């Protein structure tokens, strides 16, 4: 420790460490002695500072606030999570020795499942629907959904499908395309028993079939001379055109089962492309044929979205 000269309030000098009287001004020998003590004390203070800093650094290194892990049963944003969605994960600090220096920490507020858009379900999102609102028109231009997808294994003929979505619609094109291909390659669809298979391409020139999702206004124009009023879908040439209105809203006869109705739309319109014509309800209470115009009413039949239910 450094020596300190204390001067009492009565002005009398105090005794130093050697028993001598030390005045405020001091003698030269006393001054040299004090300077030597100060110089000798600096290495000790420096050592204390270094050791203390190292200890503090060790504490910070071993228990860093930045080194945290999220402990939560995370579910997909697409999985049902109840009316309030997933709860945010809890954050637990851990010693940095258990965390890889190359790893990154994700904020649990970002990783928690986002709430569903108003009026939509997880199944709607899986079909590419991002909003329950349906505008009459969008931008009037079709965009091809990028990406390829191989046909499932089998011996049946492969039909190559290109998927196009009108720009400006609140639609996830990739999810919409996946929904269409999943439907067509389902064992209950037209490919039952490997009769036909469907692959996806983003090359319009290589495609056998074009699947379009368009606003009511554009779909009505694409379906001419048929009069769809923007609320009916159609097959025209080598294309099938789905109106965004029905893809989002469904129909009353299917109730809340919009997924089932979307399966019906895909199977019905592609059924026309495969050469199948319309059929009627076979009787009250019986299952409706997929080629029945179910959008216009079931006429006593039960809803059915599949060619081979």
Q: What is the CATH number of the domain that holds 193?
A: 3.40.390
For residue 256, is pLDDT > 80?
yes
What's the mean pLDDT in 234-263?
98
Binned at pLDDT 50, 70 and 90, residue 113 comes out as low
The answer as to whether 82 is a domain residue is no
The answer as to whether 39 is a domain residue is no
Domain count, the chain: 1
The answer as to whether 101 is a domain residue is no
The answer as to whether 108 is a domain residue is no
Question: 14-28, 31-45, 128-142: which range is least confident on average?
Answer: 14-28
- DSSP letter assigned to residue 149: B
* pLDDT: which is higher, 78 or 275: 275
**Exposure pattern of 6-35 as b/e (b: 16+ CB <10 Å)?**
eeeeeeebeebeeeeebeeebeeebeebbe
The answer as to whether 67 is a domain residue is no
**Which contacts of 8-17 are long-range, i.e. CB under 8 A and separated by 24 or more positions?**
none
What's the mean pLDDT in 16-31?
42
- DSSP letter assigned to residue 240: E
The model's pLDDT over 51-63, given as tens digits with 9 standing for 90+, comes to: 344 433 333 333 2
Q: What is the dihedral of CA 200, 201, 207, 210, to 10 degrees?
A: 60
- Rounded to 5 degrees, what angle do the CA atoms 14, 16, 20 make? 90
Q: Which domain holds residue 238?
A: 123-296
Binned at pLDDT 50, 70 and 90, residue 25 comes out as very low
* Residues belonging to the chain: 309
For residue 18, is pLDDT > 90?
no
The answer as to whether 214 is a domain residue is yes
Q: What is the dihedral of CA 74, 145, 160, 206, to 10 degrees?
A: -150
Q: How far apart are CA 5 and CA 35, in angstroms?
A: 13
The answer as to whether 272 is a domain residue is yes
The answer as to whether 4 is a domain residue is no
């Amino acid at each position: 420790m450094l020596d300190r000269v204390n001067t009492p309030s009565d002005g009398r000098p105090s005794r130093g460490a050697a028993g001598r009287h030390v005045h405020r001004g001091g003698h030269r020998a006393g001054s040299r002695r004090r300077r030597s003590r100060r110089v000798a004390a600096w290495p000790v203070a420096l050592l204390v500072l270094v050791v203390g800093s190292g200890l503090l650094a060790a504490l910070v290194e071993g228990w860093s606030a930045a080194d945290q892990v999220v402990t939560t049963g995370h579910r997909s944003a697409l999985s049902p999570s109840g009316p309030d969605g997933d709860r945010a994960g809890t954050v637990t600090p851990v010693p940095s020795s258990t965390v890889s220096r190359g790893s990154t920490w994700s904020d649990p507020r970002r990783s928690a499942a986002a709430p569903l858009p108003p009026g939509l379900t997880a199944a709607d999102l899986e079909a590419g629907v991002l909003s329950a609102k349906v505008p009459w028109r969008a931008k009037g231009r079709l965009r091809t959904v990028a990406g390829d997808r191989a046909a499932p294994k089998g011996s049946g003929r492969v039909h190559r499908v290109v998927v196009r979505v009108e720009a400006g619609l609140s639609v996830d094109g990739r999810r919409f395309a996946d929904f269409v291909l999943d439907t067509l390659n389902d064992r209950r669809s037209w490919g039952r028993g490997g009769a036909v298979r469907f692959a996806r391409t983003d090359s319009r020139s290589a495609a056998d079939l074009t699947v379009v999702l368009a606003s009511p206004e554009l779909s009505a124009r694409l379906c001419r001379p048929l009069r769809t009023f923007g609320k009916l879908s159609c097959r025209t040439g080598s294309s099938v055109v789905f109106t965004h209105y029905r893809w989002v809203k469904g129909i009353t006869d299917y109730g809340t089962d919009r997924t089932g109705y979307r399966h019906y739309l895909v199977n019905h319109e592609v059924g026309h492309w495969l050469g199948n014509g319309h059929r009627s309800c076979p009787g009250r209470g019986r299952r409706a044929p997929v080629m029945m115009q179910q959008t216009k009413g079931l006429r006593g039949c039960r809803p059915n979205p599949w060619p081979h239910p």
